[in-house]
Amino acid sequence: MAAAPGGSAPPAGPSPRLGFSTADSGVGMSGLNPGPAVPMKDHDAIKLFVGQIPRGLDEQDLKPLFEEFGRIYELTVLKDRLTGLHKGCAFLTYCARDSALKAQSALHEQKTLPGMNRPIQVKPAASEGRGEDRKLFVGMLGKQQGEEDVRRLFQPFGHIEECTVLRSPDGTSKGCAFVKFGSQGEAQAAIQSLHGSRTMAGASSSLVVKLADTDRERALRRMQQMAGQLGAFHPAPLPLGACGAYTTAILQHQAALLAAAQGPGLGPVAAVAAQMQHVAAFSLVAAPLLPAAAASSPPGGGPGTLPGLPAPIGVNGFGPLTPQTNGQPGSDTLYNNGLSPYPAQSPGVADPLQQAYAGMHHYAAYPSAYAPVSTAFPQQPSALSQQQREGPEGCNLFIYHLPQEFGDAELIQTFLPFGAVVSAKVFVDRATNQSKCFGFVSFDNPTSAQTAIQAMNGFQIGMKRLKVQLKRPKDANRPY
DNA sequence: TATGATT
C-alpha cells in the first residue's frame, strides 16, 4: 500500500479500505501489527505519538526507522476520518516499555525527516494521560492497611510507580490511597478487576477503585464545597407548605401522644389542635420536650392552653417557620393542596399512630407524587440536601431503625419540623442500593437537634422505634 | 442491621 513517496499523488490519497476507520484500534487494517507472531506487549507499554512525519511515508516506510529501538507492537499512521488523508503523525507502541523510552530519547526533536521543517516528535500519546489517567484513587480500604498491602493488591495489574496511603496528621489511615501505574491500560485493568470486588476488613463498603480526580475536577469539587458552605450559612426560610403532608402525619401522631399523656378528658383538644393553626400544631410537636412537666402540670391550664411549652424553645426551635406561620390563615394549605396522604381526621379511624404510619409509608413509596417541596420551591431542597454533610458540633443526629423504604427525602421531611435541616442522609448499601436503615440529619443549631431528639427518639413506626441521638463525635475518646 | 460517601 505504499503511496509513492513524493511524486504527484492523486488528491484522494489511499483507498477507503485502507483509510482510517480503525486508526485507534488495536489491529487496524492499515496499521502494522505483527499479529499472532508477536501477540504480547508489556503490560506497562507506552503508546507513543510520533509527529512531523512527511505525508508521503506510510507504516512500511516508517517501520525501519523505529525498529531500531525494539520490536514494534503496533504502528499506525493517523489519517483523516473522512478524506483518508495522511495527517502527518502516527501512534507507535513497542512491545517493551523500554523500547519506547529509548526511541523517545533518541528521536524526539533530535532529527528532522526529509521535507519537514520541524524536528520529529516522539512522546507518550495524549491518551496515555499525563499521569492522571494512570493514577487511581482507592477508597474503602481498611484503616490498618498500609502501602505494602495496597501494593500487593494492585501488583498483579502492572508496574506500580507510586503508592501512597492517605493519612491524618496522627498517622492513622484515612482508608484511601493513590496508586499510579506505568500505563493507562494497567490502571484500567485494575479498575475493572478490583472496583467493588471485595470489602476490606474494617471498611463499611466495598472497595472503590477509580481514576483520581484531575486538577480540574478537584477545583470543581472545591467550588461546590464552597457553595455548599455558603448555603449552610444562609439557609433559605422554609415556607410552611414545604413541610408537606408527611409532616402532617407526624403532627397528628404527636397530638395523639399528647392526648394519651393527658388522659381521656383532653384527648379531643389535641385532636382538634392538630387541625387548627399551625402554630398550635408545631407547639404540639415540641410538647414531648417536657413530658414530665406536661404530665405533672396541674390542671390549671384550660382546654385552650397548650401545656408546658416555654416560649424560647418555640422561637428558637422553629425560628425559620415563624414568619410563614404567622402569615398563614390556617392549616388549609396542608389539607387542600391535594398532597395529603389522607384527609383530615375522620371519625371512624381508630389509631392515629397507625394512621400516621400509613401516611408515612404512602409518602415514602411515592415521594415524587407528592413532592410538595421540590414542586413548589425548586431551589429549596437542593440547598438542603446537596453538599454540606455535617453541621456544627451538637447539631448532628444519628438516626437508627429507619423504615427500609425511607430515603433522604423522607428523612428531611421527618425532621423539618424541628428546624433548618442542613443535610439528611440515609445510608445505602453500595451493592444493593438498599437502605441500611440508619442515617444522619444535621441542623444548623443545637437546639433544633435537641428538640428533634426529644420528639422523635422512640417514635414508633410499625414494629420499630426510631433511635435518635447525637452523632458520635469522631474524636470521641482520642488521646492527646 | 450500628455513626457522614474519601482526593
State the average pLDDT over residues A80-94.
Answer: 94
> What angle (nearest 5°) sits at the alpha carbon of residue A155, between those of residues A153 and A158?
140
Q: Which nucleotides in chain B lie less than 7 Å from some protein C-beta?
A: 1-7
- Is pLDDT above 80 for A107? yes
Q: Measuring from the CA of residue A396 to each C1', which nucleotide is nearest?
A: B4
The reply to whether A449 has its C-beta less than 7 Å from any atom of strand B is: no
The pLDDT value recorded for residue A463 is 87
pLDDT, greater one: A215 or A458: A458
Q: How confident is the model at residue A133 (pLDDT cuts 50, 70, 90)?
A: confident
Q: How far is the CA of A173 from the C1' of B4 (A)?
A: 17
The pLDDT value recorded for residue A215 is 80
Which of A25-29, A188-192, A294-298, A333-337: highest mean pLDDT?
A188-192
Q: How far is the CA of A440 from the C1' of B6 (A)?
A: 18
Neighbours of A397 (CB within 10 A): 27
pLDDT, greater one: A286 or A221: A221
- Is pLDDT above 60 for A119? yes
- Is pLDDT above 70 for A94? yes
Name the residue closest to the C1' of B4 by its CA.
A389
The reply to whether A465 has its C-beta less than 7 Å from any atom of strand B is: no
Q: How confident is the model at residue A30 (pLDDT cuts 50, 70, 90)?
A: very low
User: Which 359-398 residues of chain A approach strand B with CB closer than 7 Å?
Assistant: 389-391, 396, 398
The pLDDT value recorded for residue A229 is 57
Mean pLDDT (chain A) is: 68
Q: Measuring from the CA of residue A176 to each C1', which nucleotide is nearest?
A: B6
| Half-sphere exposure for A31 (CA within 13 Å, toward CB) | 22
Provide the grid cell at A113: 525527516
Q: How confident is the model at residue A328 (pLDDT cuts 50, 70, 90)?
A: very low
The residue among A75, A78, A77 whose CA lies nearest residue A67 is A75
pLDDT, greater one: A299 or A450: A450
Q: How far is the CA of A104 from the C1' of B2 (A)?
A: 56
- Residues 6 or more apart whose Cβ sits within 8 Å of residue A104: A48, A122, A123, A124
The pLDDT value recorded for residue A216 is 80
User: Which 208-247 residues of chain A approach strand B with CB closer than 7 Å?
Assistant: 208, 210, 212-213, 218, 221
- Lowest pLDDT segment from A40-49, A74-83, A234-243: A234-243
The residue among A368, A340, A367, A370 whose CA lies nearest residue A252 is A340
* Alpha-carbon distances, residue A201 vs A105, A143, A242 (angstroms): 45, 8, 43
Q: How far is the CA of A409 from the C1' of B2 (A)?
A: 21
The pLDDT value recorded for residue A425 is 94
- Is pLDDT above 80 for A137? yes
pLDDT in tens, A229-287: 555 444 444 333 333 344 444 444 444 443 333 333 332 333 323 332 333 333 333 33
Q: How far is the CA of A367 from the C1' of B4 (A)?
A: 23
Provide the grid cell at A293: 412537666
The reply to whether A437 has its C-beta less than 7 Å from any atom of strand B is: yes
Please say whether the beta carbons of A475 and A431 come within 8 A. no
- Lowest pLDDT segment from A30-34, A131-135, A177-181, A238-242: A238-242
The reply to whether A143 has its C-beta less than 7 Å from any atom of strand B is: no
The pLDDT value recorded for residue A430 is 81
The pLDDT value recorded for residue A204 is 81
Indicate the pairing of strand A160-167 with strand A173-181.
Answer: antiparallel
The pLDDT value recorded for residue A295 is 32
Q: How far is the CA of A402 from the C1' of B6 (A)?
A: 25
Please say whether the beta carbons of A84 and A29 come within 8 A. no
Provide the grid cell at A34: 505483527
State the average pLDDT over residues A28-38.
Answer: 48
The reply to whether A406 has its C-beta less than 7 Å from any atom of strand B is: no
Please say whether the beta carbons of A364 and A405 come within 8 A. yes
The pLDDT value recorded for residue A214 is 82
| Half-sphere exposure for A281 (CA within 13 Å, toward CB) | 25
Q: How far is the CA of A313 from the C1' of B2 (A)?
A: 31
